Amino acid sequence: MSSRKVTVKWGKKVFEIEIGESLGEIQAQLYSLTQVPVERQKILARGRQLKKDKDLSKIKPGAKLMMMGTAEVLAAPTKEYVFEEDLTAKQKAELTKEDVAGLNNLGNTCYMNSTVQCLRRIDELKGAINKFRDDPSASSDAHSTMVKLMGDMFNKLDVAAEPFTPIAFVNIFRTLFPQFAQRGESGHYMQQDADDCLMTFLQVVGSKLSSPKYSLSESSQDKNLTQQLFGFRVRETLKLMEGEEEEKIKELTMQKLRCHIDEKINFLVQGVEKSLDEVVEVKSSTLGRNANYKQSTRLLSLPKYLVVQFVRFYWKKSQGKKCKMLRKVKFPHKLDVESFCESSLRKSIGARRMADKAKRDKELGLDSLKVEKKAKIEPTTSKDEQAMEIDTSIQPADTTGFYQLFGVVTHKGRDADAGHYIGWVHQKDDDWSKYDDEKVSPCKEEDITNLCGGGDWHTAYMCYYKRIDTMPVERPKKKGKK
């Protein structure tokens, strides 16, 4: 017999159900509707109790049944459960002890919010700004006020249990630099460039924290703070490509490296090396006209913090606007900058690495094993082994030439004047935080690696690295991964 619809009255409630040839199915339906256990159910049809499946054969469509029985009383839960998405930022901070200090967006300020989250991980910067903020003799002009408000913002973010609204800082920033206060046709604030924002921040902080009392060390008192943290010297060489002419050499100071991108660039190191060796057009005194020169730039010093910008935005004449290059370019968590350096600095870095290696081998007792093995196998020293010996005539560098990634600013979207910026900052070990304006969420190192581009996903635009002054210890590889 096919299924048919009937009504079942239970107390003051009436339910419409479908019945077939199984009494057990009816009992299950009624239990789900009434919470009356099967053993307590007494189902009646025309005054007679239904006890077996064959009793259902006499029931016609539209029949009225009645059920008697008492529902189960559900015990109240002993614990109150709250889902994470229902927690306020303050509750989440208290329960999880996570860094939830996000910044509220004040009209397309994601470019600034993401930059601030990376900069506040630089302890030396925060310490010097706080010293300036608490200095009664510090100037009180608008630029000084901006630096002091930046310090206030850093401090509040460090202890905040809920998102912070930096309205005072944003207002003075837009007042001092009107290009960041531009509005579109709709009247809303326009999107800006995170790189322009960073360079403006460094310019203002550097101009105000130039006194020796804000210096990080006595040997660097002739430089402002941002130069001490981000600045590095380079040697730029121009060589004429069309004839004989004396090379033009000059030394400059820079605060970031650029990663150029084209169809052949797959890795950050390739892109930086391309930016350091370019062909430029300059007026030649020999030829009396503009000519092509090979411009080679090499680092003479290494900054404490290194910023690398991916040159992803370019002007597309056919569309009359800046567009974005989406190509996938992988970036390392541990960056080796030796290939970017001038020859003498490269040798100095090499000497430092060899000295560190020899020291570690000695601590582990490997040096005696090597000497013993060498004496047994080959009593004489080969040319290759001589080359591996530390050259005592070269002064080892005060750093290893390695940098560790601690922050990334990404851009999502295809338009340079639109899209969305997010900051990603390292916390400890494999743990990172994703700063999407006021929303902060935990993530892992693997998530950061996937920010290399290749589509419309969040794509690395600015990488923040910290110099490693001791030889880094290699992490053990995870099992199961080749």
Read off the pLDDT of residues 111-139 as tens digits, 9 standing for 90 and up: 999 999 999 999 999 999 999 999 888 88
Residue 383 pLDDT class (50, 70, 90 cuts):
very low
Instruction: Measure the CA–CA gap between 266 and 252, rounded to whole angstroms.
Output: 28
Quick one: pLDDT at residue 385? Answer: 47
* 458 vs 19: CA distance, rounded Å: 54
Distances from the Cα of 245 to the Cαs of 251, 277, 480, in angstroms?
A: 19, 19, 58
Report the alpha-carbon distance of residue 101 to residue 159 in Å, rounded.
8
Which residues, 6 or more positions from 128, have their beta carbon under 8 angstroms from its beta carbon?
Answer: 209, 214, 216, 225
| Residues labelled catalytic | 110, 420
More confidently predicted of 296 and 1: 296
pLDDT band at residue 387 under the 50/70/90 scheme: very low
Nearest to 211 by CA among 221, 226, 201: 221
Amino acid identity at 202: L
Count of C-beta atoms within a 10 Å radius of residue 412: 17
Q: pTM for this one?
A: 0.75
Average pLDDT over every residue of 192-207: 96
d(CA 222, CA 46): 103
CB 98 within 8 A of CB 90: no
Residue 375 has pLDDT above 60, yes or no: no
